[in-house]
Amino acid sequence: MNLYLFDPMSLIAPDLGLVFWTTLIFVLFWTLASKFAFKPIGEAIKKRSDSIADALSAAEKAKDEIKLLQNDNENLLKQAREERAAMLKDAKEAKEAIIAEAQAKAAKMKDEAIGEIEKQKVTAIADVRSKLSQEVSKMALEIAEKVLEKELDSTKDHQNLVNSLVDKFKLN
Amino acid sequence: MRQIVLVFLLFISANTFAQDTTVVNHASSHEVAVEKLDNIYGEVSHTESAEEESPVDVIMNHVADANIYHIATINGKHITFGLPCILWRNNKLSVFSSSRFHHEEVVDGFTLDHHTGKVVDAATGKRSSDLLSYFGATDSSKFIDFSITKNVFTMLLGVLLLTIAFSMVVRSYKRGANVAPKGFQALFEPIFLYIYEDVIKQNLGKKADKYAPYLLSLFFFILIINLIGLIPFFPGGANASGNISFTAVLAICTFLVITLNGNKHYWHHIFAMPGVPKWVLIILTPVEIAGMFVKPFALAMRLFGNITSGHVVILSLVSLIFILGKNGESLGGAFAGSAMAVPFVLFMSALELLVAFLQAYIFTLLSAIFISSAVAEDEHH
């Protein structure tokens, strides 16, 4: 006795029409989705993950390069500092040498100048002395001459003459 | 670890299936006429019919296929969506809309069984024949039903939705390789990658790319149809992925992929398992040959059982309202039934949402495992 109005076989017996349509729809979906969806999507995802991997490795490489550059920079800086120190040292030495040389030269020049001056002085004094003695002798002669010219005048006049001559000589 | 979880979930689904049958039997013992149930859930019925329909009929007719899409009944008036009937009889094709049965009792010698919603032979009331009985039988009432039924309609809708979704996603990927996924693409990509990486690549390794299109198609096809089946109103609600014809076709596809791609190690293991005494092969070889067919058979039955049971459980719980309410005679009973049914249906619907994903995943995973066992290079030698 069948209590129910439904056909129990309909639930478990495959239906030919449905099998046909399921096969058709699924196989079409499989073919089209593979070609137009899964392939481009898979490729795009692969491309993206590759590009991300590339970018990461490039960044890693860049980091290493920067580290290398930094080391280089530090070395350069160190070198530059050393060079600067050396240059400063050299300059200082050069300065000192120049100063010392200049001082030595100046001292030498001074000595020479002093020597020259001394020499000139001696020469000048000698000159003056000889000239003065000539002058004095000449003056004495002149005075003597004048005295001799006015000899006959009074003693008083004689005295005055000598005085005036002496004054005149003094003024000279 | 995942294997343990999987086995556990398989047990849960098996249990729910066992429970369904008890619920159904329990409900049938009431043998209450629940005509009102038709008005909301499921089938086209003759309200003037003297025959009484039990909730079991309503539920079983709901989970079966139909040639007409019943949307609702308001004051005894059926609102239906006519589906194309394509019927092959005596080398003659009849094509018409099933909505014609509203006005005409018989179209081209066919009529609509208003209980099941199926097209039957007008004279004998017989359903369409399967392939064997079509060619075996001699009577003139035999015919094959190639109609766009509720289930075929659901499949077409599912493929349409997938086409729209995939074209959106493909367009998003065309924006460029270095653009982060966004919008719908961001929802799709984790699912796609999970299936591709953790299911396909994990099992098939280097051969993943050859079988990925098949397995991905399988997953998304089952998933979308499971999900459409969960929508309780038009255009959802059809139990397409819980139909044996549907699951059998997919299982046969997996069987063909396995059998056509099976390498020499695969066949060697079936017909002459290495490292086994010769006399054991007498027992082992038939078992292995049976295993070739049992695997896809289990695939088909698992999906069929899980999805159908989900529909049956939800409908049974909803039937409680009408059983306890005595079809509107007892308002208090209806309230009590609702108070019981609503939380349970809510819970079951949430569970079915999980099952929709889970069963699509399991079908794909097992297909991938079976394929990998057939195409893997033997590592023992």
Q: Is B130 on the interface with A (CB under 8 A)?
A: yes
pLDDT digits (tens, 9 = 90+) for B315-342: 999 888 888 887 777 888 888 888 888 9
Q: How do residues A63-116 score in pLDDT, each as one tens digit?
A: 999 999 999 999 999 999 999 999 999 999 999 999 999 999 999 988 888 888
- Within 263-302 of B, beta carbons closer than 8 Å to A belong to none
B152 touches chain A (CB under 8 A): yes
Provide, as residue numbers in chain A, all residues whose Cβ is less than 8 Å from the Cβ of B319: none
Residues of B in contact with A20 (CB under 8 A): 146
Cα of A46 to nearest chain B Cα, Å: 9
Residue of B nearest to A18 (CA): B245
Using a CB-CB cut-off of 8 Å, the residues of chain B touching A29 are 159, 162, 217, 221
- Is B301 among the domain residues? yes
Cβ pairs bridging A and B (under 8 Å): 156
Pairwise CA distance, residues A102 & A118, whole Å: 23
Rounded Cα distance between B319 and B4, Å, is: 35
Is the same domain home to B244 and B140? no
Regarding whether B211 and B345 lie in a shared domain, the answer is yes
Contact assignment for A29 to B64 by CB distance below 8 Å: no
| Amino acid at residue number A98 | I
Tell me the pLDDT tens digit for each residue of B92-112.
Answer: 888 888 888 887 788 888 888
* Whether residue B158 is found in the same domain as residue B229: yes
Which residues in A lie closer than 8 A to residue B155 (C-beta atoms)? 21-22, 25-26
- H or E segment at B84? strand B84-89
Kindly state whether B214 is in contact with chain A, defined as any CB-CB distance less than 8 angstroms: yes
Cα separation, B368 vs B150, in Å, equals 30
What's residue B27's pLDDT?
38
Per the domain annotation, does B16 fall within a domain?
Answer: no
Vertex A159, ends A154 and A160: CA angle to 5°? 95
For position B45, what pLDDT does the model report? 39
Token digits of residue B254: 């997996």
CA max distance for chain B: 74
| Cα separation values, B139 from B135, B328, B337, Å | 10, 45, 48
* B151 near A CB under 8 A: yes
Cα–Cα dist A36/B372, whole Å? 25
Q: What is the pLDDT of residue B335?
A: 86
Among B117, B145, B173, give the residue marking a domain's end: B145
Nearest in space to B130 (alpha carbons), one of B144, B140, B119: B144
Strand partners, B80: B70
Residues B96 and B201 in one domain: no
**Contact (CB<8Å) A19/B249:** yes
CA distance B374 to B195: 20
Looking at the domain assignment, is residue B8 inside a domain? Answer: no
pTM across the whole model: 0.72
The pLDDT of residue B136: 65
Q: Is residue B15 part of a domain?
A: no
Closest CA to B247 of A25, A8, A19, A30: A19
Q: Which residues make Cβ contacts (< 8 Å) with residue B171, sequence separation at least 6?
A: none
B285 is in which domain, residue-wise? 152-380
Mutate to test the interface with A, among B127, B243, B299, B307 (most CBs of A within 10 A): B243
- Is the Cβ–Cβ distance between B85 and B110 less than 8 Å? yes
Domain for residue B12, yes or no?
Answer: no
pLDDT at A8: 64
Q: Assess whether the previous peptide bond of B235 is cis (omega < 30° from 0).
A: yes
Identify whether the C-beta of residue B120 lies closer than 8 Å to the C-beta of residue B111. Answer: yes
Per the CB < 8 Å rule, is A45 touching B65?
no
Alpha helices in chain A (DSSP H): 8-12, 16-33, 39-149, 155-171
One domain, residues B316 and B349 = yes
What amino acid occupies position B351? L
More confident residue, A1 or B369: B369
- Identify the domain boundary among B113, B145, B177: B145
Looking at per-residue pLDDT, the higher value among A171 and B324 belongs to: B324
Q: Does B195 share its domain with B123?
A: no
Any domain includes B292: yes
Question: Quick check: is B134 in a domain?
Answer: yes
Quick one: B140 and B256 in the same domain?
Answer: no
Number of domains chain B is built from: 2
CA distance B249 to chain A (A): 6
B1: in domain: no
Distance CA B238, CA B223 (A): 14
Compute CA distances B9 → B4, B39, B314, whole Å: 9, 35, 19
DSSP three-state, residue A5: coil
For residue B89, the cross-strand partners are B92
pLDDT at A26 over 90: yes
Q: Are residue B139 and residue B187 in the same domain, yes or no?
A: no
DSSP code string of B182-242: -THHHHHHHHHHIIIIIIIIHHHGGGHHHHHHHHHHHHHHHHHHHHHHH--STT----STT
B380 CB-contact burial (10 Å; exposed 0-12 / middle 13-18 / buried 19+): exposed
- Looking at the structure, tell me whether residues B82 and B168 fall in a common domain: no
Roughly what angle, to the nearest 10 degrees, separates helices B244-261 and B278-324? 160
Give the three-state DSSP class for B180. coil
Q: Give CA separation, A37 vs A32, A49, A62, B192, in Å.
A: 8, 18, 37, 11
Please check whether residues B121 and B138 belong to one and the same domain: yes
Interface residue B143 vs chain A (CB under 8 A): no
Q: Which segments in chain B show pLDDT lower than 50?
A: 1-51, 381
Dihedral angle of Cα A155, A160, A162, A163, to the nearest 10 degrees: 140
Contact B28 A12 (CB under 8 A): no
B351 shares a domain with B215: yes
State whether B161 and B64 are in the same domain: no
Query: How far apart are alpha carbons B32 and B17 in whole angstroms?
Result: 23
Q: Decide which of B110, B127, B145 is a domain's last residue.
A: B145
Please report, for residues A146, B66, B280, B282, B330, the alpha-carbon distance to residue B285 in angstroms, rounded to integers and kept in the order given: 177, 42, 8, 6, 62
> Using alpha carbons only, how large is chain B's radius of gyration in Å?
24
Is there a contact between B172 and A54 (Cβ–Cβ < 8 Å)? Answer: no
Three-class SS state of B72: strand
**Residues of chain A contacting B146 with CB distance shorter than 8 Å:** 16-17, 20-21
Burial class (CB in 10 A: 0-12, 13-18, 19+), A105: exposed
User: What pLDDT score does B137 carry?
Assistant: 60
Residues 6+ apart with CB under 8 A from B213: A30, A33, A34, A38, A39
